[in-house]
Homo-oligomer: A and B are copies of this chain.
Amino acid sequence: MSQSAPRALNDASPAFLEHLEARVGPGILRPAGAADLEEPRGRYHGRAGAVALPRDTEGVAAIVCACAEARVGIVPRAGGTGLVAGQVMPEGPLPLLLSVERLSAVRDASPADNALTVEAGVTLAGVQEAAEAVNRLFPLSLGSEGSCRIGGNLATNAGGVQVLRYGNARDLCLGIEAVLPDGSVLHGLRRLRKDNTGYDLRNLLIGSEGSLGIITAASLRLFPRPADTATAWVATPSPAAAARILQRALDRLGEAVSGFELIHRTGLDFLAEHMPDLRPPLAEGTWFALIEASGGAGAQVQDGLEAALAEAFEAGDATDAVLASSLAQRQAMWQIRETIPEANRAVGAIASHDISLPLSAIPEFIDEGLARLHALDASMRVNCFGHLGDGNLHYNVFPAAGRDRADYDALRARVTETVHDLVHAREGSVSAEHGIGRLKVDDLVRYGDPAKLAAMRAIKQALDPVGIMNPGALLA
């Protein structure tokens, strides 16, 4: 598995752009604006020779061919909501930004096959609506669903709040169409549940963050729409107690448990400070669980959830609880959960971490993590929240009240290293659902398995020998 370093790329220069426009026709290229070059956390600022907005898969292929010939890098862009700077290239030869936003067709809906075929530029909310239009559910759900696009969700293997029941983006995809780095088109839009004909290129491209090709369309799995949903907001004394509530809910309800979020008081305090109109369902408590179960007609998820909670009260694992009695109440509970990241941004984190651990390792990790961080600086606050059901926590570290994140600039790298070292030691992942992008390239090298890294580099070199696809992302 030897590879030679790729020769340097060329700029997407005015001469190249003129040549490209002659090949792909007018109305495809435009200058890059500020909004094209940003990422939500504002830590990276991209550069680009131009933005290309192809109208179809053939258009994507023509652009990729031209870039491959001219050795010009391509930064693919979908909704631009990624949190690890996979969508912005701040340095190196000027790339072309390739937006999939015009690939916006719903190509086919087949409720009888529980399948939906959409192009990469459809927003996640648009995919959900297309599923609903044929009386089905597309369960991928995340905070940015109004603006993120399914091509980006697949390129980054997005997670979100229903993974516990339905899996990550890759688990919801039956087939993909993609343009590979040599401009060839992978025609893999199958709607099959079983297909053992060769290497799993679908899963290789999903989660490759645009570094192996550009997903242009996907066949997605649909599910029956749940007839019945039960949602509860529960105060619990500790993460360990929350994990026991999860186990009780799973024992009672099996896969009907569709979401299990852990929330710490700190996040609610941030909300109270910055979004005082949002009132949490319970005033008292340190830890909270937001639990949702859903099922077909007659699945009696409300009864099951109530029974699980009754047991949890008896065992002392729950100290207070509210069950949503209306859709409005349910939505209000989820709004609290989904606004926490916004409150976090208003406060300004020293460092944010998107980690996962075996469920059984989480309670100890939370205690140990806080102890280690306080050994660095006892004034730091931690807002630990997230998808406990998936073992996935957003573990974000904040300044003391009244102080600024800039006061901790000197500590930032050690904070992240402390958290990630502990996660790694406990057999966890330093990127659970956000990916590597450019932000975590060094983490991948530091914590990644050497054989995995070597194989990844060999695959990258084999499929993208010129190195044009999202240069500097995932593998530097």
Structural contact, A462 and B452, CB atoms closer than 8 A: no
Chain B, residue nearest A457 (CB): B462
* Residues of B contacting A70 in the complex (Cβ-Cβ under 8 angstroms): none
* Residues of B contacting A304 in the complex (Cβ-Cβ under 8 angstroms): 296, 298
Select A110's contact among B110, B191, B358, B440, beta carbons within 8 Å: B358
Chain B, residue nearest A389 (CB): B193
Chain B, residue nearest A2 (CB): B465
Structural contact, A194 and B459, CB atoms closer than 8 A: no
Chain B, residue nearest A294 (CB): B254
Structural contact, B193 and A200, CB atoms closer than 8 A: no
Q: CA A459 – CA B455 in complex, angstroms?
A: 10
Q: Separation in Å of the A154 CB from the closest CB of chain B?
A: 12
A417-455 interface (Cβ within 8 A of B): 427-436, 440, 443-444, 447-455
* Residues of B contacting A170 in the complex (Cβ-Cβ under 8 angstroms): 200, 203
Q: A344: CB under 8 A from chain B?
A: no
Q: A330: CB under 8 A from chain B?
A: no
Q: A381: CB under 8 A from chain B?
A: no
Structural contact, A436 and B196, CB atoms closer than 8 A: yes
Structural contact, A204 and B197, CB atoms closer than 8 A: no
Structural contact, B200 and A432, CB atoms closer than 8 A: no
Q: Separation in Å of the A443 CB from the closest CB of chain B?
A: 8
Structural contact, B463 and A254, CB atoms closer than 8 A: no
Stretch binding the partner chain, chosen from A41-49, A179-187, A368-376: A179-187
Structural contact, A196 and B452, CB atoms closer than 8 A: no
Chain B, residue nearest A450 (CB): B184
Q: A411: CB under 8 A from chain B?
A: no
* Residues of B contacting A54 in the complex (Cβ-Cβ under 8 angstroms): none
Structural contact, A192 and B428, CB atoms closer than 8 A: yes
Q: CA A357 – CA B432 in complex, angstroms?
A: 34
Question: Can you name 6 A-B pairs with beta carbons within 8 Å?
Answer: A110-B360, A170-B200, A196-B431, A196-B432, A200-B208, A226-B254
Task: State the A residues within 8 Å of B (CB).
Answer: 1, 110, 112-113, 115, 156-157, 159, 163-164, 168, 170-171, 180, 182, 184-188, 190-201, 203-204, 206-208, 212, 223-224, 226, 243, 247, 250-256, 295-300, 303-304, 307, 356-360, 387, 390-392, 427-436, 440, 443-444, 447-456, 458-459, 461-463, 465, 474
